[in-house]
């Protein structure tokens, strides 16, 4: 499968199973002989991991615009230091969240101007954009329930925002997927992880083979 140098992102609401699916796809790709780099946002650089703690801590009082710019600055660092060099070296890069998270959460959820968020994304990424974005679609009430079990009730700064915020996030994800059907692959994440894994693998093979 000629997939070297491809950039694949996973998106979705809380508890949709992104990290599980990313790990499973990475294993399958490695078994197929690919060199895979798995990343997450915010994170993936020393700067990004520090900011991740700040951004996720329930006590952090961060204004929506400051929050959006922090996510964008983590992304700028990750793209320049890690993603662009890895793609240039022929690695497959998998990233748990990327540009669409900022559009969905900071514009859809927080209500910031979408065009401004997209400008910040362009500043952060330049021409480094995903070849494929897997959107794990799940009812937010169900996703928040799963996340709560996973985190043993220790909700982070976004999980505490409630179902209405997360419903708006989901709506914006749906709009993005409709606007860019060539980049997005939408999967029903309510199904068992094995079925989702199989569907994602099938799509990767269909697109890149």
4 vs 116 by CB, closer to ligand TMP: 116
97 vs 170 by CB, closer to ligand TMP: 97
Minimum CB–partner distance for residue 32 and ligand TMP (Å): 26
What are the phi and psi torsion angles at 162 (to 5°)? 90, 170
143 binds ligand TMP (CB under 6 A): no
Minimum CB–partner distance for residue 106 and ligand TMP (Å): 6
Which residue stretch of 85-93, 101-109, 132-140, 182-190 sits at the interface with ligand TMP (rule: CB under 6 A)? 101-109
101 binds ligand TMP (CB under 6 A): yes
- Which residues, at least 6 apart from 183, have a Cβ–Cβ distance to it below 8 Å? 130, 131, 132, 133
Residue 116 gets which letter from DSSP?
A: H
One residue of 9, 21, 38, 102 binding ligand TMP per CB under 6 A: 102
The C-alpha atoms of residue 30 and residue 113 are separated, in whole angstroms, by 40
Q: How many residues bind ligand TMP (CB under 6 A)?
A: 13
Specify burial of residue 148 (Cβ count, 10 A radius: 0-12, 13-18, 19+). middle
7 binds ligand TMP (CB under 6 A): no
The C-alpha atoms of residue 68 and residue 86 are separated, in whole angstroms, by 25
Cα distances (angstroms) measured from residue 47 to each of 43, 83, 123, 124, 165: 7, 15, 18, 14, 28
CA angle 175, 179, 183 (to 5 degrees): 110
Q: Which residue has the tokens 């994800």?
A: 173
3 vs 25 by CB, closer to ligand TMP: 25
105 binds ligand TMP (CB under 6 A): yes
Chain positions 43 to 62 lying near ligand TMP, rule: CB under 6 A, are 56
**Site residues for ligand TMP per CB under 6 A:** 14, 40-42, 56, 71, 96-97, 101-102, 105-106, 158
């Amino acid at each position: 499968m000629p997939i070297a140098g491809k950039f694949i992102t996973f998106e979705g609401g809380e508890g949709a199973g992104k990290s599980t699916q990313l790990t499973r796809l990475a294993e399958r790709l490695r078994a197929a002989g690919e060199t895979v780099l798995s990343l997450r946002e915010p994170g993936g650089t020393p700067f990004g991991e520090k900011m991740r703690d700040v951004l996720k801590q329930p006590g952090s009082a961060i204004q929506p615009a400051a929050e959006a710019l922090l996510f964008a600055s983590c992304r700028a660092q990750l793209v320049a230091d890690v993603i662009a060099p890895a793609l240039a070296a022929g690695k497959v890069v998998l990233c748990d969240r990327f540009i669409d998270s900022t559009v969905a959460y900071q514009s859809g959820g927080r209500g910031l101007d979408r065009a401004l968020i997209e400008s910040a994304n362009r500043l952060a990424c330049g021409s480094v954009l995903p070849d494929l974005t897997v959107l794990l679609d799940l009812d937010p009430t169900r996703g928040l329930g799963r996340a709560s079990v996973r985190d043993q009730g220790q909700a982070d700064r976004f999980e505490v925002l409630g179902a209405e915020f997360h419903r708006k996030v989901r709506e914006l994800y749906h709009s993005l997927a409709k606007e860019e059907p060539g980049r997005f692959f939408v999967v029903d994440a309510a199904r068992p992880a094995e079925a989702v894994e199989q569907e994602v693998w099938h799509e990767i093979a269909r697109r890149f083979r």
